[in-house]
C-alpha cells in the first residue's frame, strides 16, 4: 500500500544542514496499523509527511497505491492526497466552521450535491460518534471530540490510508484509549491502512501490528509487534519496550530499596520473559521439584499483544549455583528468556555476610 | 435651545450647511478610500503571506521586493506624501483640490499600512490548519479563499477597523491642504478665523464617526469569531 524507498530529507539553511531522514525504506501493507516510534527530533514527523509529500524528500521514492507520488504533476498529486487522510497532534480544525462545516470542507468541489454532502457528513459523524455535535464550533469541544472531528474530516473522501502524527499526544490516557479504539475499529470496518507516529510505546502496544523505531533520522529496527516486543535487538528499542512494560521502573524501585531483595550468596536476581501460552507457573513449580531452586517473583507484567500473551517477570532464583544454572538452562529450553542482572545488591549481600 | 446655541455656538448656527457638507465630504473620502485601499491592501497582504519563504506559493524574490516597497512607502510622512503624489493626482483626477482628488493620496497613504495589517492578520491563522488543507488536496486558491480569508476574517475586520480610524485622521490632514471635509472646516474656520465653536463641532463630528466605525467593527468581529 505504502512503499517508501531510500528516503532522504535534508534541510538546508544558511548556517547548517540537517539530515532529518536518512535512507529510510519502509513498506506498509494494506490493512496494517504501522507504528513509528522515536524520541523528539528523531525525524518521525518529517518521515510521515513525505507519505503525502507535505514534505518532498530530497531523494527517494514515495509509492502510495499505484502511484509514485514523486512523479505526479500538482493537480494529480492533489487528487492523490484526497485519498490519504491525515490527523495531527493539535487537530488543526478551522475555528470559523462548525463541526459539519469542517467535515464538509474537503467534500466541496468533488461533484457531490449539497444534499449528498450533508448525508455524507451525517454518516461520518455517526461513524465517529459525534452526531449530536453537528452544529457546534470546535472551540466548544474537548480534545478527544476535536480529534474525532478531525478523523471524520480525514475520512471524508474515503481514503485508503490514514496518517496520524502524534494524534493522541495532546490527550489524557483515557481519551487516548478511546481514540485508539476508534482507529482500530476503522481499520477493521473500512480496511483502512494506518500509519501512526508516536513517542509512546503504549500507543503502539495498544493497536499496531507493525512497528519501526527511529533514531537520528534512521530506522534502527523494524518488525511485527510481537517479535519486536519479545526479541528486540537495538538498545533503543529495548528502552522503549521496557518503559512500556515498566520493567525498568520496577528495577529502579528495587534498586532504591535493597531491603526488598535481601539477597544472599545463593540468590540471583533475574528477569524472565516468555511468549505465548507456555505460562511460567508450571515451569517455576518444576524448578523446585527438579532442581530445588525456589523462585520468588518480585514483579510481573503480562501484555496481550495481537492476542499473544507476553510475560515479563523480575525474580530471585535461590539455590546452589550449579542447580541454578541447570534451572536456567531448563527454562531456556522451554523458550523462556532469562537474563541475570548484575545488581550491586549482590556485592552488598556478600559484604553483609562477611561482616556477619 | 436656540438661545443657548446663539450664545455659545454663534458661528455653528450660521454655518450649518457647510458643516453638514463637510461631514459628508469626510465620509465620502473615507468610504471611497476604504474601498480602494481595502481591495489593494487585501491583495497585497495575501500576496505577502503566500509568497513568503514558507508560504504556499513561496516566491522569496517577489516577497522581498514587495516587503521593501511597503516599508519605503510607510516611512514617508503623509503630509509629504500629499505633495509628492500631487502630479499623479492631477493626472488621474485633473485637479489636486477637493475630496475626490484627496482620495488618491489617501489610498497611497493607506495601502501600505493596511497591507501589513492584513498580512499580520493572516499570519495569525495557524500554520497547522494550512497544512491540513494542503493534506486534503486543496488548491492554493482554495487555501486563500476558503482557509486564510475565512479563518482570518475576525482579525482582518479588526485590522480594518483600526485602519479606518487611522484613515479618518488622514482625511482631516488631506482636508487641511484643500481636500475639504471636517479637517478643512476646522482649519479654515476654526483656526484661521478663530471660530473655536466650529473647531469643537468638527472634533465632535470626527469623534462620532470614529466611534460608529469602531462599533460596527467590534460588532462584526464578535459575529465572526467562534
Ligand atoms: N522545516 C524544517 N526546517 C529545518 N529543520 C527541520 C524542519 N522540520 C524538521 N526539522 C528538523 O528535522 C529533525 C527532525 O524533526 P521531526 O519534526 O521530524 O522530528 P520528530 O521525530 O517528529 O520529533 P517530535 O517528536 O518532537 O515531533 C529535527 O532536528 C528538526 O529540527
Ligand atoms: Mg513530530
Please give the model's pTM, rounded to 2 decimal places. 0.85
| Runs of H (alpha helix) within chain A | 44-51, 74-81, 99-104, 114-128, 143-154, 173-190, 201-207, 225-231, 235-245, 247-256, 280-291, 321-333, 344-355
Distance from residue A43's CA to the centre of ligand 1 (Å): 5
Residues B153, A54: C-beta atoms closer than 8 Å: no
Residue A109's pLDDT is what?
Answer: 84
Of A72, A2, A9, give the one whose Cα is nearest residue A217: A9
Residues A96, B153: C-beta atoms closer than 8 Å: yes
From the CA of A36, which ligand is nearest? 1
Contacts of A124 (CB under 8 A, 6+ apart): A103, A152, A153, A155, A156
Cell 488548491 locates to: B139
User: Which residues of chain A neighbour B151 with C-beta distances below 8 Å?
Assistant: 94-96
In tens digits, chain A (356 residues) has pLDDT values of 999 999 999 999 888 899 999 999 999 999 999 999 999 999 999 999 999 999 999 999 999 998 999 999 999 999 999 999 999 999 999 999 999 999 999 999 888 999 999 999 999 999 999 999 999 999 999 999 999 999 999 999 999 999 999 999 999 999 999 999 999 999 999 999 999 999 988 899 889 999 999 999 999 999 999 888 887 888 898 888 877 777 777 877 777 776 666 777 778 888 888 887 666 567 788 888 888 888 888 888 887 877 788 888 888 888 888 888 888 888 888 888 888 876 554 444 443 444 33
Distance, CA of B160 to CA of B167 (rounded, Å):
10
Of B129, B135, B151, the CB nearest to A81: B135
Cell 475630496 locates to: B99
Atom of ligand 1 nearest to the CA of A48: 18
**Is A189 part of the contact surface with chain B (CB cutoff 8 Å)?**
no
Of A237, A157, A150, A230, give the one whose Cα is nearest residue A190: A157
Nearest-CA distance from B160 to chain A in Å? 18
The answer to whether the CB of A38 is under 6 A from ligand 1 is yes
Residue A345's pLDDT is what?
Answer: 47
Helix (H) or strand (E) holding B202: helix B196-224
Q: Give chain B's domains with CATH numbers.
A: 15-224 (1.10.3720.10)
Residues B129, A82: C-beta atoms closer than 8 Å: no
Distance from residue A219's CA to the centre of ligand 2 (Å): 15
The answer to whether the CB of A44 is under 6 A from ligand 1 is yes
Residues B139, A78: C-beta atoms closer than 8 Å: yes
**Is A86 part of the contact surface with chain B (CB cutoff 8 Å)?**
yes
Ranges of residues in chain B with a pLDDT under 50 are none
What ipTM does the predicted assembly reach?
Answer: 0.87
Distance, CA of B128 to CA of A81 (rounded, Å):
16
Residue B96's pLDDT is what?
Answer: 85
Cell 477597523 locates to: B161
Domain with CATH 3.30.70.260 in chain A: 255-355
Residue A3's pLDDT is what?
Answer: 94
Atom of ligand 1 nearest to the CA of A21: 14
> For the range A343-351, what are the long-range contacts, defined as Cβ-Cβ under 8 Å and sequence gap of 24 or more?
A343/A255, A343/A261, A343/A263, A343/A269, A344/A255, A345/A254, A345/A255, A345/A258, A345/A261, A345/A263, A345/A269, A346/A263, A346/A268, A346/A269, A348/A258, A348/A263, A349/A261, A349/A262, A349/A263, A349/A264, A349/A265, A349/A267, A350/A265
Cell 510481537 locates to: A226
The answer to whether the CB of A41 is under 6 A from ligand 1 is yes
The answer to whether the CB of A46 is under 6 A from ligand 1 is yes
Helix (H) or strand (E) holding A300: strand A294-305
Report helix angle A235-245 to A247-256, nearest 10. Answer: 80
pLDDT tens per residue, range A200-248 = 888 998 899 999 999 999 999 999 998 888 878 888 988 888 777 777 7
**Is A137 part of the contact surface with chain B (CB cutoff 8 Å)?**
yes
Distance, CA of B111 to CA of B46 (rounded, Å):
13
User: Which residues of chain A neighbour B138 with C-beta distances below 8 Å?
Assistant: 78, 106
C-alpha cell at A156: 471524508
Distance from residue A90's CA to the centre of ligand 1 (Å): 16
Instruction: Note which residues in 105-144 of chain B have CB less than 8 A from chain A.
Output: 126, 128-129, 131-139, 142
Domain with CATH 3.40.50.300 in chain A: 2-243
Residues A92, B150: C-beta atoms closer than 8 Å: no
Distance, CA of B107 to CA of B102 (rounded, Å):
9
User: Which residues of chain B neighbour A146 with C-beta distances below 8 Å?
Assistant: none
Distance, CA of B206 to CA of A172 (rounded, Å):
54
Q: What is the DSSP letter of B92?
A: H
The CATH architecture to which A2-243 belongs is 3-Layer(aba) Sandwich (3.40)
The answer to whether the CB of A40 is under 6 A from ligand 1 is yes
Residue A268's pLDDT is what?
Answer: 84
Distance, CA of B184 to CA of B102 (rounded, Å):
12
From the CA of A165, which ligand is nearest? 2
Distance, CA of A264 to CA of A347 (rounded, Å):
10
User: Which residues of chain B neighbour A84 with C-beta distances below 8 Å?
Assistant: 135
Distance, CA of B73 to CA of A182 (rounded, Å):
55
Residues B135, A137: C-beta atoms closer than 8 Å: no
Residue in chain B lying closest to A99 (CA): B226
For the domain A255-355, what is the CATH code? 3.30.70.260
DSSP-assigned states of every residue in B95-162: -SSSHHHHHHHHHHHHHHHHHHHHHHHHHTS-HHHHHHHHHTT--HHHIIIIIIHHHTHHHHHHHHHH
C-alpha cell at A139: 472551540
Any bridge partners for residue A340, and if so which?
A270
Helix (H) or strand (E) holding A59: strand A59-64
Distance from residue A43's CA to the centre of ligand 2 (Å): 7
Residue A278's pLDDT is what?
Answer: 61
Amino acid at each position: 500500500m505504502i512503499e517508501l524507498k531510500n528516503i532522504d530529507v535534508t534541510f538546508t539553511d544558511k548556517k547548517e544542514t540537517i539530515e532529518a531522514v536518512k535512507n529510510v525504506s519502509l513498506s506498509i501493507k494494506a490493512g496494517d496499523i504501522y507504528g513509528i516510534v522515536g524520541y523528539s527530533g528523531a525525524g518521525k514527523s518529517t518521515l510521515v509527511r513525505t507519505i503525502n509529500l507535505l514534505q518532498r524528500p530530497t531523494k527517494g521514492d514515495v509509492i502510495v497505491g499505484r502511484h509514485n507520488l514523486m512523479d505526479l504533476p500538482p493537480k494529480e498529486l492533489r487528487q492523490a492526497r484526497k485519498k490519504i487522510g491525515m490527523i495531527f497532534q493539535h487537530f488543526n480544525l478551522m475555528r470559523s466552521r462548525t463541526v459539519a462545516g469542517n467535515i464538509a470542507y474537503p467534500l466541496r468541489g468533488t461533484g457531490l450535491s449539497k444534499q449528498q454532502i450533508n448525508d455524507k457528513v451525517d454518516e461520518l459523524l455517526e461513524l465517529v460518534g459525534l452526531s449530536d455535535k453537528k452544529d457546534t464550533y470546535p472551540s466548544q469541544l474537548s480534545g478527544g471530540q476535536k480529534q474525532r472531528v478531525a478523523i471524520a474530516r480525514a475520512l471524508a473522501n474515503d481514503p485508503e490510508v490514514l496518517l496520524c502524527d502524534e494524534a493522541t499526544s495532546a490527550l489524557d490516557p483515557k481519551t487516548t484509549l478511546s481514540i485508539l479504539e476508534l482507529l482500530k475499529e476503522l481499520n477493521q470496518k473500512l480496511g483502512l491502512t494506518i500509519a501512526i507516529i508516536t513517542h509512546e510505546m503504549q500507543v503502539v502496544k495498544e493497536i499496531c501490528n507493525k512497528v519501526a523505531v527511529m533514531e537520528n533520522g534512521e530506522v534502527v529496527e523494524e518488525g511485527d509487534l510481537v517479535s519486536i516486543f519479545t526479541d528486540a535487538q537495538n538498545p533503543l528499542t529495548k528502552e522503549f519496550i521496557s518503559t512500556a512494560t515498566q520493567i525498568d521502573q520496577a528495577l529502579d524501585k528495587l534498586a532504591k530499596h535493597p531491603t526488598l531483595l535481601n539477597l544472599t550468596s545463593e540468590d540471583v536476581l533475574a528477569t524472565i520473559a516468555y511468549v505465548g501460552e507456555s505460562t511460567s507457573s508450571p515451569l517455576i513449580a518444576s524448578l523446585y521439584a527438579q532442581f530445588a531452586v525456589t523462585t520468588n517473583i518480585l514483579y510481573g507484567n503480562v501484555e496481550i499483544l495481537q492476542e499473544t500473551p507476553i510475560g515479563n517477570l523480575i525474580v530471585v532464583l535461590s539455590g546452589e549455583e550449579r542447580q541454578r544454572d541447570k534451572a536456567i538452562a531448563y527454562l531456556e529450553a522451554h523458550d523462556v528468556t532469562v537474563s541475570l542482572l548484575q545488581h550491586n545488591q549482590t556485592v552488598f549481600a556478600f559484604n553483609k555476610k562477611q561482616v556477619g | 435651545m436656540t438661545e443657548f446655541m446663539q450664545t455659545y455656538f454663534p458661528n455653528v448656527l450660521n454655518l450649518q450647511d457647510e458643516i453638514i457638507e463637510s461631514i459628508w465630504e469626510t465620509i465620502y473620502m473615507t468610504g471611497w478610500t476604504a474601498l480602494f485601499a481595502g481591495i489593494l491592501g487585501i491583495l497585497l497582504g495575501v500576496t505577502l503571506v503566500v509568497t513568503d519563504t514558507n508560504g504556499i506559493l513561496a516566491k522569496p524574490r517577489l516577497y522581498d521586493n514587495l516587503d521593501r516597497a511597503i516599508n519605503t512607502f510607510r516611512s514617508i510622512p503623509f503630509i509629504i506624501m500629499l505633495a509628492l503624489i500631487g502630479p499623479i493626482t492631477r493626472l488621474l483626477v485633473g485637479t489636486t483640490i477637493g475630496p475626490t482628488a484627496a482620495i488618491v493620496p489617501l489610498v497611497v497613504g493607506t495601502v501600505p499600512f493596511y497591507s501589513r495589517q492584513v498580512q499580520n492578520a493572516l499570519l495569525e491563522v495557524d500554520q497547522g490548519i494550512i497544512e491540513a488543507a494542503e493534506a486534503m488536496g486543496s488548491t492554493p486558491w482554495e487555501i486563500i479563499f476558503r482557509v486564510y480569508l475565512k479563518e482570518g476574517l475576525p482579525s482582518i475586520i479588526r485590522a480594518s477597523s483600526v485602519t479606518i480610524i487611522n484613515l479618518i485622521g488622514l482625511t482631516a490632514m488631506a482636508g487641511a491642504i484643500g481636500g475639504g471635509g471636517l479637517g478643512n472646516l476646522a482649519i479654515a474656520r476654526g483656526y484661521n478665523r478663530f471660530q473655536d465653536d466650529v473647531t469643537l463641532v468638527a472634533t465632535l463630528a470626527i469623534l462620532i464617526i470614529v466611534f460608529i466605525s469602531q462599533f460596527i467593527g467590534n460588532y462584526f468581529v464578535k459575529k465572526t469569531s467562534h
